[in-house]
Structure 1
């Protein structure tokens, strides 16, 4: 059964903040210089190095400021409300959390998560079944990591992501094939770690 970020068990995970800084990823890994915690950056570099020749990771987004997370939640919640006009507040929160995390547990706000894909030697994105940020509504659920209805190449590429990132200790949010995290509350819950390593952080601590 999929554990969503709105699950009370995620909120219940304590945070023992390490104070680890945010760092910019190298341009060959993230052309936009995404910010992530230093240990996550190391793990992403190692995962990238483990890929077959001619394939690279491409990190699209890392750290996300609190106010941007709030705006994304509000925007998508309004969309969900239009699709499910009779849903009560608790149902709306669950439906919204399939695609965007509640602010208080959001891995991106902690600098602990990345949205990423795979690219070829020309920098063109490989087939992973849907674009990054395809909503469950837009993709008919194919954004889920284990979804049916994607081609053999997309499946193989998702499994390759899972192998190299899993070997570095990252966990996937199963409703979004592109979302992987390390050190946040969701990661702690899934791995059985006693506490999260990272809580919400300000970009002002970037190295």
Structure 2
């Protein structure tokens, strides 16, 4: 990784850890991607479960699903990923870098410094830097971030017009916002439904990823402060 990749703006938000525990997500209440997508690739959680989040985050997630089901009975939030140790973050960053190389037909030993830099920039559009510095934790390592989508009453995944973790412009939440094509309008509607129920429960959405929501971490505080510059807040969940 090049040192010229800068700290992201949200990582400058101070953290005052409140000590709230990680708790298991009651998987019977939600839909779940199983087996876990990163474990399937070989990520080692070292005995910890990816299906854990902070207690307050779980309460808010339940509230979001209740709101969803009032509008669409039988629908559920599907948990793709939640708690992620820094070691797993590193594994997925390295995996993604290797995947991009393969897609481009390149070998790491033959890359120019500029090519290497360009690929890392692409990787870090989606992935947070796997920092061990307690003042700049990757969001998922705090237990405050979730990657999610929706399933309907039949258990079928709702089409959002892009895959979770996709390295493309389609990952931007508003990618389809101005489309006049009916199918693409439905993708935008589905993304907005997910956003609305999560935001109503207190979450904030990653500005570049339709699937990523957090509550209480640095990104959440940073996004809140963009909306309410006169009422600045700080993060209360750090790395666990």
Alpha-carbon offset, residue 179 of structure 1: 0.8
1:11 aligns with: 11
Q: Could you say which residue in structure 1 is the equivalent of 2:228?
A: none
Taking only aligned residues, the RMSD between alpha carbons, in angstroms, comes to 2.5
2:238 match: 199
Q: What are the within-5 Å matches in structure 2 for residues 70-89 of structure 1?
A: 70-80=90-100, 87=114
Pick the aligned partner of 1:67 from 87, 106, 110.
87
User: Which residue number corresponds to residue 99 of structure 1?
Assistant: 126
1:19 aligned counterpart, secondary structure = coil
Q: Give unpaired runs (5+ residues) of structure 2.
A: 35-49, 132-136, 226-231
Larger Rg: 2
1:61-90 CA deviation, whole Å, 9 max, x = no partner?
100111111111222234556759663776
SS in 1 for 2:210: coil
- Does the CA contact (< 8 Å) of 2:139 and 2:218 recur in 1? yes
SS across alignment from 2:125? coil
What is the CA–CA distance in structure 1 between the aligned matches of 2:8 and 2:151, rounded to whole Å? 36
Residue 39 of structure 1 is matched in structure 2 by 56
Gaps in structure 1 of 5+ consecutive residues:
202-207
* The one of 67, 70, 90 aligned to 1:50: 67
- Counterparts of 1:124-135 in structure 2 under 5 Å? 124-135=156-167
Partners of 2:79 and 2:208 in 1: CA distance:
18
Name the residue aligned to 1:187.
220
Cα distance in 2 between the residues matched to 1:55 and 1:6: 40
CA distance in 2, matches of 1:34, 1:194: 27
Aligned partners of 1:36 and 1:63 also within 8 Å? yes
8 A contact 1:15–1:196 mirrored in 2: yes
For 1:68, what is the secondary structure of its paired residue? helix
- The size of the alignment, in residue pairs, is 193
**TM-score with structure 1 length normalisation?**
0.82
- Residue 205 of structure 1: aligned partner: none
1:143 aligns with 2:176: no
1:15-69 deviation per Cα after TM superposition (whole angstroms, max 9, x unaligned): 1001111111112215468111110000010000001223221112100111111
- Partner Cα distance (2:223, 2:188) in 1: 23
TM-score, L = length of structure 2: 0.71
